[in-house]
Structure 1
Amino acid sequence: MEKLGIKIMRSPANSKYVKRLNRMRIINIIKENELISRQQLAEVTGLTPPAITGIIRELIDTGFVKEVGLGESQGGRRPVTLQFNCLAGYVIGIEITSQEITIALADLKNVPIDIQRIKVDMKNPDVAVQELINTIKKVILHEDHQSKRFLGIGIAFPGMLNTHEGTVKRAVNLGKKWNGFPLKTVLTQEFNIPVFIETNSKVAALGEKWFGGGTNCENLIYINMGEGISAGIIMGESIVQGSQGYAGQIGHTVMIEQGALCNCGNRGCLETICGIPAILRKVTAELPFLANEDALQQRFAIHNEIQINDILEVALQEDSYARDVLRQTSRYVGLAISHMINLYNPDAVFIGGKMSIVAEIFIEEFRNVIATHTFSEVGDATPILISKLGIDSGVIGACALALKKLLKSPNSNIFEDGVDNVEQK
């Protein structure tokens, strides 16, 4: 259990803080070890049996730990074994994009469930946030959730954030009305439970680490390919933030000097070539030149518009125009990934986001570019993998964010009452 990296503080200046820290870390020892006795906890932590007994009594009283039978005798009475109760509380995870809210529910240990998508225009926060509040209330008030205790809300947001304050600094794909919006404060006041906000690619990286293909990776990079393109970086089990919390903005790496104007104000950014809006603009401009029998041309004739899902679905066809478009853009993303590999030397790179459903189209091109733009010792040793979480990586990561904040921080208020019910307003 020492390999879990858990240290117990025993000589504090602040006894209340240390008690909280010890209690939180004991929860994680129990959570990671499935079944364990009080005696084993005392041996691992160095805490006295009375201290362990007191902490376990609190954890049982609050429902986070339960006694589940007797362990093997070590020469005396058989010890009572303890187990983490993952159903003692729940978190809500939310991913926000310009036209959609995705929401999921998770217990304290398992992969999130009940993932729902709601079409909402999120560009005007004065209207959109009320829709977000209503969506959260519907989940909490659902008849299947009446007995659940909700402990926190995690938000995956597409923009630059002050995560401590929970305010939006800049959201180039949502619009200027979001600048300075105090999203955390608004939601905390509405639901009276902790709200945690982080950029979508960072929480997606965390989701990949907790629930996806990165569970055995200490260092990983997650590339979010969606409306925008960004990276979540985990090094040494921690999310790389940068001095202002803005690390990972690879979508605004300039790829073409004096290229197309980007929402950020610069020209030739990666997003102006490979983001979903850029792909839609390119396809719409080139549709008049396609043959009538082209699959996208036929869809346009029926619906008088082309959506990204049309492009992704048609791209699954060999030798289609849609596939060619995606392949053309993939080289630029491959270059950005090459830079990330050279800079961070990760165990693996995961490709996720809305366009991950056709990531097989990109992977070979990515690998080809990486082979010629990285040190061979690094590039050859770095697998490029498709996220196991697919298009749900952001919302699953939002659940992981809330769980990490609640279960890993000594300042967590997880032992306080969560939301048992919410009144309609």
Structure 2
Amino acid sequence: MSNPGNSKYVKKLNRMRILNMIKDYEPISRQQLSEQTGLTPSAITGIIRELIEMNFVKEVGLGESHGGRKPVKLKFNCKAGYVIGLEITQHETVFAIADLKNQPKDIQSVAINMATPQEGIPLLIAEIKKLIEQQEHSKKFFMAIGIAFPGLLHLHNGLVKRAVNLGPAWNEYPIKEALESALGLPVVIENNAKAAALAEKWFGCGTAYSNLAYINMGEGISTGILINDSILAGSHGYAGQIGHMVLDSNGPLCNCGHRGCLEAICACPALIRKVKTEISFIDKEDPLVKIWEDKQDIRLADIVLAAKVPGSYAESLFRQVGKNMGLVLANLINLYNPEAIFIGGKMAVAGDLFIDVIRDIVSTHAFPEIANFTVISISALGANTGAIGACALVLKQLLQSSESAILDDPERILRKKGFFWSRSQII
């Protein structure tokens, strides 16, 4: 760990502070930076020179003069590097590419069976290499990879503790080490819901909130909570497992081994399983029955489509989802007093079918002094929030962490470009 009393460490922190001020308040002049930080003009000049040489900062013209020479304006060069973010689920992995500032735009998904790391990780590595080799990315400098992972993680060493929705083969698997050794890129890993909460804060509708919760509703259900802009980790990093709050002790068996968990009742696989179990008891004229007769299968998209029909089985099913989620969120609101709650994941496509029910249940079960000031909405980032959050996770680590290595030693960076990893280095 860096020594706060070390002069190189202090210089590094000053570089990072200045870089983030330029990113957040661009265009800005050297004089303004000096006035706002208290650093001397000569210190600012030296830092800016290093940041320009490292390609993180550009001069973009002259500002207005208030006596004397016009100040040179500075901007953050967000194209100096790129990061890859991805969210792993059992059958699909979503990839996103982001520059150093903006919301990821290049998002794509690949079908990968991740039931075991022995089968899934080699396929994942091949897909990452393929992504970087694509012609439109071949000249980009990739700096790191972020992973949004559905499970309990040992963050200090990058091990998977347990992933109940992937399978027992993942227990104690060194995912961080496996990917770093194969790709030659730094890897940052976090639980998918916690990463998604960061996505809402950086790129979504949560920018105005310091205390928020993100509810990931997909193959599982979990939450990421930000308190005073920091991710709530818990003593072992496992906080946020609301999907395993028990609603019915005699309810359906959950992947975690217990019965009646929220996840076993309201997650996507649970809904599909319930429909298939009850299909023979549903009215023959119900749209879901007609879909089943035609396809002999039911998917989430089918349930969402059928729920658009008033009075349908699927409409009733989503209303029950809203009631169960409302009870859980009422408890979460009473516990943490968030300013806002965002619901996302694969279930976000059905959000308009149950969001009003959630709000109604919350209004009658949470303290009104808290609930009346809590915004509850569907995430505008859609089903890809985890991958977007993985990008945000990496950017936070690179640009805001005191342990980040990218600004440690400018001379080494200039000499070796040590903070960049290009396509040729991972093939």
Tell me how far apart the structure 1 counterparts of residues 331 and 284 of structure 2 sit (CA, whole Å): 41
Contact 1:151/1:414, CA 8 A, preserved across alignment: no
1:275 alignment counterpart: 267
Q: Which segments of 5 or more consecutive residues in structure 1 lack a partner in the other structure? A: 1-10
2:116 is aligned to 124
| Map of 2:383 onto structure 1 | 391
In the TM superposition, residue 295 of structure 1 has moved relative to its aligned partner by 2.2
2:370 partner letter: V
Structure 1 Cα separation of the partners of residues 278 and 195 of structure 2: 35
Does structure 2 retain, via aligned residues, the 8 Å contact 1:316–1:358? no
Matched with 1:293 is 285
From 24, 41, 46, the equivalent of 2:33 is: 41
Q: Which amino acid aligns with 1:227?
A: E
Counterpart check, 1:187 vs 2:189: no
Tell me what 2:421 maps to: 419
* 1:326 aligned residue (313, 318, 323): 318
**Alpha-carbon distance between aligned partners in 2 of 1:320 and 1:292, rounded to the nearest angstrom:** 11
- Aligned-pair identity (%): 55
Instruction: Give the 3 Å change call, closer, same or farther, for CA 12–205 of structure 1 in structure 2.
Output: closer
Is the 8 Å Cα contact of residues 141 and 422 (structure 1) preserved in structure 2? no
Measured after TM superposition, the shift of residue 300 of structure 1 is 2.0
Bigger shift: residues 12-21 or 387-396:
12-21
Residue 349 of structure 1 aligns to which amino acid in structure 2? Answer: I
The alignment status of 1:312 with 2:304, answered yes or no, reads yes
Whether the 8 Å contact between 1:94 and 1:395 is mirrored in structure 2 is: yes
**Structure-2 residue corresponding to 1:356:** 348
Cα distance, 1:351 vs structure 2: 1.0
User: Which position in structure 2 is the counterpart of 1:99?
Assistant: 91
Is the CA contact 2:184–2:426 (under 8 Å) kept in the aligned structure 1? no
2:237 alignment partner, one of 245, 248, 254: 245
Determine if contact 2:343/2:378 at 8 Å carries over to the other structure.
yes
For residue 199 of structure 2, the aligned residue among 192, 207, 210 is 207
The match for 2:106 is 114
With over 3 angstroms needed to count, the CA separation of the structure-2 counterparts of 1:230 and 1:401, relative to structure 1, is same
Correspondence for 1:345: 337
The whole-number CA distance in structure 1 between the counterparts of 2:379 and 2:130 is 29
> Would you say the 8 A contact 2:182–2:426 is kept in 1?
no
Residue 259 of structure 1 pairs with residue 257 of structure 2: no
- What is residue 165 of structure 1 aligned with on the other side? 157
1:56 aligns with 2:60: no
How far did residue 423 of structure 1 move? 6.2
Cα deviation digits, residues 138-190 of structure 1 (max 9, x gap): 11111111111111111111000011211100000000000111111111112
**Which amino acid is 1:114 matched to?**
D
Q: Does 1:401 align with 2:403?
A: no
Structure 1 residue 106: deviation in Å? Answer: 0.5
User: 2-side partners of 1:424 and 1:209: how far apart?
Assistant: 31
Q: Deviations over 1:74-113 (max 9, x none)?
A: 2111111110011111111101111100001111111101
Deviation at residue 12 of structure 1 after TM alignment: 5.4
Quote the offset at 1:350 in angstroms.
0.8
Letter in 1 for 2:159: T
User: In 1, are the aligned partners of 2:161 and 2:171 still within 8 Å (CA)?
Assistant: yes
Q: Which amino acid aligns with 2:317?
A: V
What one-letter code is carried by the residue in structure 1 that aligns with 2:339? D
Which residue type is aligned with residue 196 of structure 2?
A: A
On the 8 A contact 1:191/1:422 being kept in 2, the answer is no
What is the CA–CA distance in structure 1 between the aligned matches of 2:426 and 2:379, rounded to whole Å? 38
Say whether the 8 Å CA contact 1:34–1:83 is kept in structure 2: yes
TM-score by length of 2: 0.94
Partners of 1:229 and 1:281 in 2: CA distance:
16
Q: Give the CA deviation at 1:424.
A: 7.4
TM-score scaled by structure 1?
A: 0.95
- Distance (Å, rounded) in 2 between the aligned partners of 1:85 and 1:70: 17
